[in-house]
Amino acid sequence: MYIVLGVTGSISAYKAADIANRLHKNGHDVHVVMTDGAQEFITPLTLQTLSKNKVHADEFEEYDPTIVKHIDLAGNADIVLIAPATANIIGKIAGGIADDLLTAVTMAAADQAKVIIAPAMNTHMYENPIVQENMEKLKKHGYLFIEPKESHLACGTTGKGALADVDDIIAFVEGV
């Protein structure tokens, strides 16, 4: 499968390395798209090395003038997996905002590829009624979600919001 792995600015971004590595080892063609926030937590080089493909982050960097990058990535994708997905990216997608490469790819892929979102955020953010409404809205439009787990979070609190286990994410992706 051709999988676009979207990585956003969450402390859980480091787990995207394991996700990319495992998907690649399982025979999938993994193309990583990182937000600016994600690059604060993990380097593109790490994900490029593990996915064996160029990592994309700059919406306006066109490496081939005959190809529009976000349309090409979306058009080839069987799955767009956003893991970890912040409240910000969920809200932008639910609002139809495509102001960076990941949201543009997601918007362009939504009618032809499965979009799977694995939230990761503080419990209070996850339980915020607006975030919950955004997720419900996306579910109504066919977006799939991998539930976060309850855990001790990086902020020091305990509750639901931790990125699902990598094993669960891989199983979900390969099961759709």
Instruction: Express each pLDDT in 76-96 by its tens digit.
Output: 999 999 999 999 999 999 999
Q: What's the domain range around 22? A: 6-77+86-151+166-175
Residue 104: the pLDDT is: 96
In a domain, 141, yes or no: yes
125 within domain boundaries: yes
- Indicate which CATH number applies to the domain containing 72: 3.40.50.1950
Q: How far is CA 118 from CA 6, 65, 72, 85, 110, in A?
A: 10, 33, 23, 6, 16
Residues taking part in catalysis: 155
Q: Looking at the 3D structure of the chain, how many domains does it have?
A: 1
Is 30's pLDDT higher than 70?
Answer: yes
pLDDT at 153: 67
pLDDT in tens, 40-84: 999 999 999 999 999 999 877 777 777 777 888 999 999 999 999
Q: How far apart are CA 120 and CA 38, in angstroms?
A: 12
At which residue do the structure tokens 């990535």 appear?
73
157 occurs within a structural domain: no
Task: Enter the pTM of the model.
Answer: 0.95
